[in-house]
């Protein structure tokens, strides 16, 4: 026993694992600064040495033979660890690391809170309670013009809106410029990037752009008059964008070429032999709403449907307005790639026909005001006028976005149909990777879109519409 000495660098084997665990658990780099300070000043005596073992006579020391043996415990292991040379400088360094990290986290938290507060002040807006006439008077002070970039096929598609707006609000010009939505959104992105923004209002089919622009902070939060009556799916909760009116693509037929019993309603009706050579279709790889119709049909019937449709020798064109125009002239019998009036005009030879079981495409055309708008009050007037019940029933040809405006006789609210869902189109448009993969596959069947865009080429900064 007299020759036996206790080692200060190892413990008896039963404690070896516990010792390693204690060193790992109580290493200074793993302990908060306040814990380290407590052990330095409250536990370790100021006059204690920096050796590895306790000296005879120190509290807590025991002896085996002539050598002191410190009773094993995690805290004694820790005490031996902190008394080694250089420990104080390590404590200082560790403390500074912790302090720096906590300061950075605090600064980040304060920044986030400030940003959240600013975002809330922009986001928390109440619906406009002014009358249209009150907004009109405010808009007149801005110079008498509101510029809208509107998605569409030809300028004439917005003629009814322009005439109705300018008749209702004399002295304010509705400068609406029509182009494909996929060109307008790229044009707007470029104008924002180069600080050359032209439109006050954007109104497009590319619904996926609006959450992105909202996230970028370029949209003005505004809840037009009647906002609370808009179907919840068709409005942004913060007022960044609003659904202006509902559009649907489905069957359009010539009633002089086809009797009612032979009107194609379901997808497979277009595979009938009597329709071969009599179909005109918009390129699905040129318009995402048409593309979505194909996506739903391929999901239901498979690619075999597209192969059989191609055997019908359809004519493909750019612009969803062209099939309707050609069907009106009697050159073709039918299409499923156009919209149409729910209530046909007197003397019209075309009818818009919904399927009973197969899916059809519908969405709310979204509209928003830019923060950089040069005529913000005029823009607010335009959006509030779009949502006015009179506009929703007398100017728009299809469904209203409002819950308190009844659809035409014989139709239901668009959200009541089981074979269409506007949000499904928005979901489809949001997954751009999936859209592009499906578009590429469709191109293998129908070829690339040929011909000039139907609105014409408008360039980077169109300030006035093209005549078409």
Distance CA 232, CA 242 (A): 10
Q: How far is CA 326 from each of CA 251, 275, 338, rounded to the nearest angstrom?
A: 14, 15, 11
Residue 32 token pair: 């908060």
Is residue 255, in this structure, part of any structural domain at all? no
pLDDT tens by residue, 356-413: 999 999 999 999 999 999 999 999 999 999 999 999 999 888 999 999 999 999 999 9
Confidence of residue 239 (pLDDT cuts 50, 70, 90): very high
Confidence of residue 29 (pLDDT cuts 50, 70, 90): low
pLDDT tens by residue, 286-322: 999 999 999 999 999 999 999 999 999 999 999 999 9
Distance CA 68, CA 90 (A): 28
Q: Is the pLDDT of residue 68 over 70?
A: no
The dihedral formed by the CA atoms of 259, 262, 267 and 273, expressed in degrees to the nearest 10? -120
Q: Is the pLDDT of residue 16 over 80?
A: no
Distance CA 161, CA 203 (A): 13
Task: Write out the residue range of the structural domain in which residue 86 sits.
Answer: 1-124
Is residue 32, in this structure, part of any structural domain at all? yes
Q: What is the DSSP string of 46-94?
A: TT--SSSSPPTTSTT-EEETTEEEPPP-HHHHHHHHHTSTTHHHHHHHH
Average pLDDT taken over every residue of the chain: 85
pLDDT tens by residue, 85-113: 565 566 556 545 654 555 555 555 555 55
Q: What is the pLDDT of residue 53?
A: 39
Q: Is the pLDDT of residue 454 over 60?
A: yes
Q: β-strands 280-282, 315-317: how paired?
A: parallel
Is residue 397, in this structure, part of any structural domain at all? no
Question: If you average pLDDT over residues 133-154, what whole number do you get?
Answer: 98
Q: What is the pLDDT of residue 339?
A: 97
Is residue 283, in this structure, part of any structural domain at all? no
Is residue 12, in this structure, part of any structural domain at all? yes
CA angle (355 as vertex; 353, 356 as ends), nearest 5:
130
Is residue 8, in this structure, part of any structural domain at all? yes
Distance CA 290, CA 363 (A): 12
pLDDT tens by residue, 250-271: 999 999 999 999 999 999 999 9
Is residue 384, in this structure, part of any structural domain at all? no
Is residue 209, in this structure, part of any structural domain at all? no
Give the other-Cβ count within 10 Å of 444's Cβ: 10
Q: What are phi and psi of 280, to 5 degrees?
A: -130, 130
Distance CA 396, CA 417 (A): 19
Q: Which residues pair with 248 in a beta bridge?
A: 362
Q: What is the pLDDT of residue 396?
A: 86
The count of domains in the chain is 1
Residue 145's contacts (CB-CB under 8 Å, 6 or more residues apart) are: 172, 173, 175, 375, 378
């Amino acid at each position: 026993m007299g020759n036996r000495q206790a080692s200060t660098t190892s413990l008896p084997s039963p404690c070896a694992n516990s010792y390693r665990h204690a060193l790992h658990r109580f290493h200074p780099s793993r302990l908060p600064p306040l814990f380290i300070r407590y052990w330095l000043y409250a536990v370790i005596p100021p006059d204690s040495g920096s050796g590895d073992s306790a000296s005879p006579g120190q509290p807590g020391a025991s002896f085996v033979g002539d050598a002191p043996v410190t009773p094993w415990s995690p805290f004694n292991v820790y005490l031996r660890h902190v008394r080694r040379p250089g420990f104080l400088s390590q404590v200082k360094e560790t403390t500074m690391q912790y302090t720096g990290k906590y300061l950075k986290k605090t600064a980040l938290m304060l920044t986030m809170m400030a940003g959240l507060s600013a975002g809330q002040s922009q986001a928390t807006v109440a619906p406009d309670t002014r009358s249209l006439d009150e907004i009109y008077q405010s808009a007149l002070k801005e110079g008498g013009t509101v510029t809208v970039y509107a998605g569409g096929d030809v300028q004439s598609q917005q003629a009814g809106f322009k005439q109705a707006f300018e008749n209702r609000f004399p002295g304010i010009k509705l400068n609406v410029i029509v182009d494909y939505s996929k060109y307008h959104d790229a044009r707007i992105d470029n104008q924002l990037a180069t600080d050359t923004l032209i439109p006050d209002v954007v109104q497009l089919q590319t619904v996926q752009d609006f959450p992105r622009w909202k996230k970028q902070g370029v949209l003005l939060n505004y809840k037009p008059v009647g906002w609370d009556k808009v179907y919840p799916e068709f409005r942004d909760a913060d007022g960044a964008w609003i659904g202006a009116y509902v559009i649907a693509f489905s069957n359009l037929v010539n009633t002089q070429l086809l009797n009612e019993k032979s009107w194609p309603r379901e997808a497979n009706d277009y595979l009938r032999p009597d329709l071969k050579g009599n179909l005109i279709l918009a390129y699905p790889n040129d318009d995402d709403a048409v593309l979505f119709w194909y996506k739903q049909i391929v999901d239901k019937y498979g690619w075999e449907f597209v192969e059989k449709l191609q055997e019908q020798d359809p004519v493909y064109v750019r612009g969803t307005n062209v099939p309707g125009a050609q069907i009106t002239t009697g050159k073709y019998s039918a299409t499923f790639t156009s919209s149409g009036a729910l209530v046909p005009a007197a003397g019209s030879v075309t009818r818009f026909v919904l399927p009973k079981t197969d899916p059809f495409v519908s969405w709310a055309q979204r509209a928003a005001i830019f923060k950089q708008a040069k005529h913000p009050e005029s823009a607010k007037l335009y959006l509030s006028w779009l949502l006015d019940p009179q506009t929703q029933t007398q100017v728009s040809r299809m469904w209203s976005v409002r819950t308190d405006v009844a659809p035409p006789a014989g139709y239901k609210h668009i959200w009541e149909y089981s074979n269409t869902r506007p949000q499904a189109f928005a979901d489809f448009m949001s997954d751009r990777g999936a859209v592009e993969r499906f578009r590429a596959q469709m191109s293998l069947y129908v070829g690339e879109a040929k011909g000039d865009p139907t609105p014409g080429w408008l360039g980077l900064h169109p300030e006035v519409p093209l005549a078409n």
